[in-house]
Structures are given as structure tokens and as C-alpha cells.
Amino acid sequence: MKLSQTLGRSLWAFLFNSGSCNGCEIEMVATVTPRYDVERFGIKLVGSPRHADLLLITGAVTRKMAPRLKRVYEQMPDPKVVVCVGACGVSSGAFYDSYNLVGPVDQIIPVDMYVPGCPPRPEAIIDAVVKVLAGLEASEKSA
């Protein structure tokens, strides 16, 4: 199945908190409100990774969450897109030297796009998702 057939119409997103302070989650909730209206891009939050095309990850990965993050990633159907949201997920942020961290998200699963910030604005999150989708569609057309 082609990528445009699965991702071209709408994108269902699953939000995964791997150990953040909830600042990024507050911005994610703001992203789905009518003010920003991500549904105009076809983005919808879903409650199961088995239905999701997009995985939005917030927070640095703790030891307890590393196997759970891998399992959620493996449960997602192909093709899948992973966006790491917030400074903690990108580089472990202020908690970089903590005893209970495994590390940033990209040490556990592959990441397609990073959204830096503590916490990032909803506009930045939307921009990252739209850019990664545009990149996927462009790579499919060239193939």
C-alpha cells in the first residue's frame, strides 16, 4: 500500500508521555482546541497506538517507560511517523544527568522530527507535523 493512500487523507495521532513534567501535554491539549484546529490538516488524536499513524512523544525516557515505548512503537501499523515534542524528549532537557533516565527518545526508537522547546508552542508542533507529512509525500513522489 502506498504512503499517500494511508497518510494522504488524514493522520491519526497517539500521544505518549514517557516521563515529562506535563508542560508538553498542556501544549498538546491546546493544539487540539478550536483555536488551533489541527483537524483542518486531517490530524486527530486516537486512544490506541494500533489505530495511529503518528506517534507524538513527550518527555525523557525513564527506565520504566523504555520497554513500554518500544511496545507502543511496535504496535503501530506501517507506515508510521514519530515526532519528539519538547526539550526533554530531544536531549533529556534539565534531567540529562538523572539516575533513572535511559536517555532521549532517539536512543530507544527512530524519530522522524524533533520539536524543541520547553514547552514548545502549539504552532511549532503543528508546523513539525505538517513538515514531516510534506516530506513523506515528496519522498513518495520521487520514488
Three-state SS for 32? coil
Best CA proximity match to 95, nearest among 64, 118, 112 = 118
> Between 3.40.50.12280, 3.20.20.70, 3.40.120.10, 3.40.228.10, what CATH number should domain 3-142 receive?
3.40.50.12280
Quote the pTM value.
0.84
- pLDDT tens sequence across 59-108: 888 888 899 999 999 999 888 889 998 887 788 777 777 778 887 888 88
Residue range 17-29: average pLDDT? Answer: 82
* Boundaries of every domain in the chain: 3-142
Q: How far apart are CA 137 and CA 132, in angstroms?
A: 9
Compute CA distances 33 → 36, 38, 103, 131, whole Å. 6, 8, 31, 20
